Amino acid sequence: MMERTALVVGSSGLAGSNLAEQLIKEGWNTYGLARNPNTENKDLKPIAADLLDKNSLQTALADIRPTHVYFTTWLRNDTEAENIRVNSLMVRNLLEVLSSHQSVEHVALVTGLKHYLGPFEAYAKDGFLPDTPVREEHPRLDVENFYYAQEDEVYAAADRDGFSWSIHRPHTVIGKAVGNAMNMGTTLAVYATICQETGRPFVWPGSAAQWNGISDVTDARVLAKQLIWASTTDAARNEAFNVVNGDIFRWSWLWNRLANYFGVEAVGYHGSIQPLEKEMANDTDLWRQIAEKHQLKEQDLSRMATAWHTDLDLGRPIEVMTDMAKSRKLGFTVFQNTEESFYDLFEQLRAENLIPATPVSDKLKTDV
């Protein structure tokens, strides 16, 4: 069998870095493409290139012959029209450059639940609210969405070059992220650390529907395993898949658990949304002081926390959960306990000196 060679596009990000790690564990020859490649994993072969610059890609990929391409990145712009233009161009440039090699067997694209909930400009608004749990057969919303544009680029290139494809739609992804735009787990860890250091309460920032309703999330490690499974399983080719941990929870329960973990006072929903972006708006200097005090690796709050995106997720006016029946029926049975996803992340952030190494109580470790 021909050696499998993976090209992870966006290998410095939340989804991409976890995917690269899993591919390497499984013995794949793995390249990681990014504007600023992650060099922490010594077994990942870094490729520096700009997806918006076709010449840059042609030079960087001249000698690379990937069999499997995993596209896990995007760029945020001021409007959805610009999101569509930029993010579809990145996919198109990459696949056009790789087309000349004719080595690609499969392309996997990571998008997300904004496929069902709408783009940033119309996110979870009346008129765009889907039935839940969301299912893959739910039709596209009648609104511009850069996820749709990215999908269409993959479909067009697959028709041209004959490779198979898979689309992956995670809910909120939980995993280590520094400098990443969608990193709720790390954002909440930073917020809890600030509360811990200042004595401020750990205030729920979101809506009543999210506080009281059922939800789920996606561990980055589960997403990585589904990406590999879909790209190497014949029955999963040319399909779109939701991907979440496999359990459900209510934030009214989990919020208190997370607060207990950090030893801070939890405050739940009390009649109105309390945006985290506003709560943390003046914490830039405070985080720098905390980082200096504990000799943390990252002093820039904006690279650790993206409160605006956490507010989007937790402020939705409906409960949101994800149907996993499609991939389960085809054999993807990976499961992850969500509470443990958060604790695993917090321990990783401590181990890598990104938040202070405050010990967890013995009671919390056993009382789960």
Active site members: 114, 147
Are the C-beta atoms of 72 and 16 separated by less than 8 Å? yes
Report the amino acid identity of residue 280. Answer: M
Which residues make Cβ contacts (< 8 Å) with residue 212, sequence separation at least 6?
250, 252, 269, 319
Q: Which helix (H) or strand (E) holds 293?
A: helix 284-294
Which residue is it, tokens 């450059």? 97
Report the DSSP beta bridge partners of residue 203: 267
Buried b (16+ CB within 10 A) or exposed e, 206-228: bbbbbbebebbbbbbbbbbbbbb
Classify the C-alpha dihedral 122-124-126-130 as positive or negative. Answer: positive
Given its phi and psi angles, is residue 308 left (phi above 0), alpha (psi -120 to 50 degrees) or beta?
A: alpha
Six token digits for residue 295: 């000799």
Which residue is it, tokens 């008129």? 127
110, 247, 174, 213: CA torsion to nearest 10: 100
Question: What DSSP string runs through 142-197?
Answer: SS--HHHHHHHHHHHHHHHH--EEEEEEESSEES--SS-S--HHHHHHHHHHHHHH
Which residues make Cβ contacts (< 8 Å) with residue 358, sequence separation at least 6?
196, 262, 263, 350
d(CA 110, CA 313): 18
21, 25, 28, 30: CA torsion to nearest 10: 20
